[in-house]
Amino acid sequence: MLTAIDPSTGKVLHEYAPMDEQALDAAIERSETAYRSWRQTTFAQRADVLRKVAALLREDIEHLAPLMTEEMGKPIKEARGEVEKAAWCAEHYAQHAEAYLNTEELGSDATRSFVQYLPLGPILGILPWNAPFWLAFRFCAPALMAGNTCLMKHDPHVPACAEAIGKLFERVGAPKDIFQNLPLETPQVEKAIRDRRVQGVSFTGSEKAGSIVASTATSEIKPVVLELGGSDPCIVLADADLAAAAPVISLSRMINAGQSCIAAKRIIVEAPVYDQMIELLQEHLSRLQMGDPREESTDIGPIAREDLRDNLHRQVQATKDAGARCLLGGEVPDRPGFYYPATLLADVTQDMTAACEETFGPVMVVMKAKDEAEAIAMANDTPYGLAAAVWTAAERGVAMAPKLETGQVAINGIVKTDPRLPSGGVKRSGIGRELGPHGIREFANAQQVWVGPKQG
């Protein structure tokens, strides 16, 4: 069974029966059938569907947002923002997909030579629980606009979110089966990846699961895009505007109760401003309200699952035991649900657990660097390479960016995903890119056409 547990109480919300193998086979067959006609549609026809879905997302926001709040504990004000962002993604690709996939004329020995971008077929999206609506549309909006059909296997802990996303397409009268929700249990996913009709796989989640998905997909010679974990550094140099940096860094670390791959997980501060920066961060973190995610005043809701909360506390305790100072939080609260308070760990060194492992929760780690060179070395001292932030003079930050081993760098701002810009990582943080013009081309056939001299 697919079981959703309310993380604010620890009680079962609902259970859904998973799809069996026969139903999975039928769903994939319907997706392939739908692809044959969907690929023939114009960009304008595809855009019309995406715009209708976006409008429905906004119209139904007060029903959709609470689904996230109930199933994975996202504070309601953040959940509404996520639904809006999902709608924006759909609208963005509806407007820009045709330009992103424009035929490219290239010079050669031909009378004419060009590259045209063609769809591949049914694409499988395997998604996590931490941003149920945004990640679904980050996957499906570009894939659909490219002419592919989509099969969504969502996390088993957010089945109501997944069902609601699938029904959006039905409710707007989209062509049948261009988007389907697959309520699968994890062991069933391999069958879907290996099915000959599935032409590509998009996966967002853990490094461990991503390696399994990648090895399975590549063994079947299928393209795969992976967005995996991160231990994102945020470098604060002595010439930074600390007053501007502190609230943005606090938000970057604590949004979604810190359960974000691109959250600022290691705050690396240059020695001359280290103590001052810690004071500012502590001041901002101490104002955050932990509580029921249904309340408008709540800033930090519960961790999505008990096992994740327990692992987070293990990381904090091990880091404290190794000599880090715990200036805020650091203890499991005595209340129902899977809550963990905003926690500030200072004087963390590179060998401590919270610096070596990805911390997926409201735990801020602050480290000291003697200068810019050491800060960059510390930032790169990780198997991950998803994103980084730098707070310094703008030109200096731009000069630092190519020295950082990440797929994304934010200078004097928050690391975020944006439909207009490509997102993805290097090293063990992933393969390929999502969003922007780069993302839509991941599941497109870049077909080269060479035209010879006129005949006759």
Measured distance CA(374)–CA(268) in Å, rounded:
10
Q: Which of 32, 78, 227, 357 is catalytic?
A: 227
- Catalytic: 161? no
Contact partners, residue 275, CB within 8 Å, separation at least 6: none
- Mode of pairing for the β-strands spanning 426-427 and 200-204: unpaired
The CA-based dihedral angle spanning residues 403, 409, 414, 415, taken in that order and rounded to the nearest 10 degrees: -130
| Contact predicate 450/456, CB 8 Å | no
356 labelled catalytic: no
Tell me the sheet residues that pair with 434.
423
Set 261, 357, 372, 434: catalytic member: 261
| Burial (Cβ within 10 Å: 0-12, 13-18, ≥19) of residue 368 | buried
Alpha helices, H only, 60-158: 61-72, 76-100, 132-145
Owner of token pair 């005595």: 334
Q: Which amino acid is at 10?
A: G
The residue type of 115 is: V
- Measuring CA to CA, which residue among 94, 104, 84 is closest to residue 144? 94
CA 232 to each of CA 37, 228, 248, 287, 369: distance values in angstroms, whole numbers, following the listed order:
43, 12, 15, 24, 16
Alpha-carbon gap, residue 366 to 79, rounded angstroms: 28
Catalytic residue positions? 227, 261
